[in-house]
Chain A
Amino acid sequence: MDLTLQVWRQDGPTTSGRFETYAAPGISEDMSFLEMLDVVNERLAADGKEPITFDHDCREGICGTCSLMINGKAHGPERGTATCQLHMRKFNDGDTIVIEPWRATAFPIIKDLMVDRSAFDRIVEAGGYITVAAGSAPDANLIPVPKPVADAAMDAAACIGCGACVAACPNSAAQLFTSAKVAHLNLLPQGQSERYARTEAMVDTMEQYFGSCTNHGECQEACPKEIPIDFIATMNKDYLRAKLKNRRYLSRTP
């Protein structure tokens, strides 16, 4: 395949960037999108030019490090697929592909296509854990969990934290990420004791960085793990309950 790439190049967090056009001839359709970029980068390096910086790690769709806006869609045209799992056969010979980094104030660009997503870490730090007495491992199935609940929690836990939901959202809201991180704990018995404090803390932290949800539904289309926006509704409900319930104990200020 012969492709033309329009790639966002930006030297650093504070410099202004621009699109640059690269010819990418002789691309195999069996390559992944990142392998295609590897080929382009090798050629750039051989020409003595600066290769394109992009994030990647596992390359098997489980780490959430890859993050590219491909032709105006987060992770490109294929539903439920991270950039690293996107094959070049999804494109046509002669295509021009526009590649941009995630755009959100909370995700500042580090270089070229790489952004800093540590705002997500702040949200998880606020409550994305359970405080347990870490004794020895309990017997399996000691705490019964109904199968549909376990399945729903697993669906939420599938979130790899890539940030595609924020990138795709017209409001740069992080509701899908946060609601998934809230739900995979709030659904399970082990998560109950901190359920409302968690929801309140994580939502409040989220709102310091990201936009607000207006229910476009764009995030669930972009999500490589196809996490549904149903979790957002559940989070909203828990947030209201957190404000209603037992406020003395939930209050984070003295």
Chain B
Amino acid sequence: MASTTVARAATSRPAPQKPKRRAPLPIELYRSAVGKKYVMAITGIALMGFVFFHMLGNLKMYLGPGHFNEYAEWLRTLLVPFLPRTTTLWLMRIGLIVAFALHIHAAYSLTRMNHAARNTKYQGRRDYVAANYASRTMRWSGIIVGLFIVWHLFDLSWTGTGYTFVRGAVYENVDGSLSRIPVGILYVVANIALGFHLFHGAWSLFQSMGWNNPRFNRWRRDFAAIFAAIIVVGNVSFPLAVMAGVVGVG
């Protein structure tokens, strides 16, 4: 057929065998895209755990300033007789920072790889069947959440963002910041983006980790949907409650 007489493009030649020295297992694994997906899944699980307990802890704000600030102080004194104050908290923070860094780096390099894998896009309109809004916007929802987290840290942990910020006065700071309507809306929007990110990520991790079994396969989508819904409802309730005056110093 015609194909035998036409010059073939370079990609169809045998792949060059890169002489690679065998690295230690984690690095060896991370070199491959499948390995990077493992890293994305594992760090994703860690970050999901954080997001869940962050939301759960913040529910304390509904019990009033006393409980809430006490909870914030309790986090700093975790395991205190055995370890110095804030040590446990810092260990967890370091874990989170590492997880974030790996999650973002893996996403970045996989995205580069995927763009290179289709140098000419489809010129006609694509008609997707299974790929949904959440799965196709992962990198955008991820970027929104990432930028939001930086803002969120400035807003409530580091400097405050224009309201009277008092370090350690957690309840008052939340009230001071979120009672500003545009800021409250920002929190709502960012958490909806987080919800979309979780809706795909919490399902996707099962496949990436190779957790596939007919016994539980039908629950994987449900788990992701329920997890995302719990996080969004919980987190969105905080700015709404502050803006509505349910939470606040009055």
B25 near A214: Cβ-Cβ < 8 Å = no
Contacts of A33 in B (CB 8 A): none
Please determine whether B129 and A218 come into contact, CB atoms closer than 8 angstroms: yes
Q: Are A218 and B131 also in contact (CB < 8 A) when A103-B118, A104-B118, A122-B15 are?
A: yes
Given contacts A204-B32, A244-B25, contact A105 B117 (CB under 8 A): yes
User: Nearest residue in B to A207 (C-beta to C-beta)?
Assistant: B33
Closest B residue to A72 using CB positions? B127
Question: What residue of chain B has the Cβ atom nearest to residue A104's Cβ?
Answer: B118
A216 with B130: CB separation less than 8 A: yes
A72: chain B residues at CB < 8 Å are: 122, 124-127
Q: How far is the CB of B204 from chain A (nearest CB, A)?
A: 4
| Given A53-B2, A114-B3, A173 and B114 contact (CB-CB distance below 8 Å) | yes
Q: Bound state CA distance, A209 and B11, in angstroms? A: 7
CB distance from A105 to the nearest CB of B (A): 5
| Residue among A114, A122, A212, A234 making CB contact with B210, cutoff 8 Å | A234
Question: A116 CB to closest chain B CB, in angstroms?
Answer: 5
Cross-chain contact A172 with B117 (CB below 8 angstroms): yes
Task: Tell me if B14 is interfacial: C-beta within 8 Å of chain A.
Answer: yes
A116 and B8 contact, Cβ closer than 8 Å, known pairs A105-B116, A172-B118, A203-B32: yes
CA distance A118 to B204 in the complex (A): 29
**Shortest beta-carbon distance from A110 to chain B in Å:** 5
Cα A69 to Cα B217 in complex, Å, equals 30
Interface residues on A, range: 35 or more
With A116-B12, A122-B14, A207-B34 as known contacts, state yes or no: A100 contacts B123, CB within 8 Å. Answer: yes
CB pair A212–B114 under 8 Å, yes or no, is: yes
Q: Is the interface of A mostly helix, strand, loop or mixed?
A: mixed
Query: Among the listed stretches B35-43, B64-72, B160-168, which one makes contact with chain A, having 4 or more residues with CB under 8 Å of it?
Result: B35-43
Please tell me which one of the listed residues B22, B127, B209 contacts residue A71 in the complex, with CB atoms under 8 A apart. B127
Beyond A105-B119, A214-B204, 6 additional contacts (C-beta under 8 Å) are: A12-B6, A72-B126, A110-B6, A118-B8, A208-B15, A236-B38
B19 within 8 A of A: yes
Q: Across the two chains, which residue of chain B brings its CB closest to A239?
A: B34
Docked CA distance A119–B11 (Å): 7
A-B CB proximity, top 7 nearest = A237-B210, A211-B117, A233-B212, A72-B127, A108-B9, A217-B130, A172-B117
Cβ of B7 under 8 Å from chain A: yes
Chain A proximity mask over B119-153: 1 for CB below 8 Å, otherwise 0:
11111111111110001101000000000000000
**Smallest CB gap from B131: residue in A:** A216
**Residues 83-100 of chain B, each 1 if its beta carbon lies under 8 Å from chain A, else 0:** 000000000000000000
Taking A106-B11, A119-B11, A207-B32 as contacts, is the C-beta distance between A214 and B38 under 8 angstroms?
A: no
Q: Determine the residue in chain B with the shortest Cβ distance to A121.
A: B12
- B82 within 8 Å of A by Cβ? no
Q: Which of B185-230 contact A (CB under 8 A)?
A: 200, 203-204, 206-212, 217
The residue in chain B whose Cβ has the minimal distance to the Cβ of A126 is B15
Q: Name the residue of chain A whose CB is nearest to the CB of B212.
A: A233
Q: Which chain B positions have C-beta within 8 A of A110? A: 2-3, 6, 8
A211 and B32: CB pair below 8 A? no
Distance of B209 from chain A, by nearest CB (Å): 7
Beyond A116-B12, A212-B113, A220-B130, whether A253 also contacts B123 by CB under 8 A is no
Q: Does B48 contact A (CB under 8 A)?
A: no
- Across-interface contacts of A122 in B (CB, < 8 A): 12, 14-15
Is A90 among interface residues, defined by CB-CB distance under 8 A?
no
A111 contacts across to B, CB distance below 8 A: 2, 6
A21 close to chain B: CB less than 8 A: no
Kindly identify, within residues 160 to 199 of chain A, every residue whose CB is under 8 Å from any CB belonging to chain B: 168, 170-173
- B7 in complex: contacting residue of A13, A218, A222, CB < 8 Å: A13
- Taken together as a complex, chains A and B put the C-alpha atoms of A78 and B142 apart, in Å, by 34
Nearest-neighbour CB distance to chain A for B157, whole angstroms, equals 32
**Chain B minimum-CB-distance residue to A211:** B117
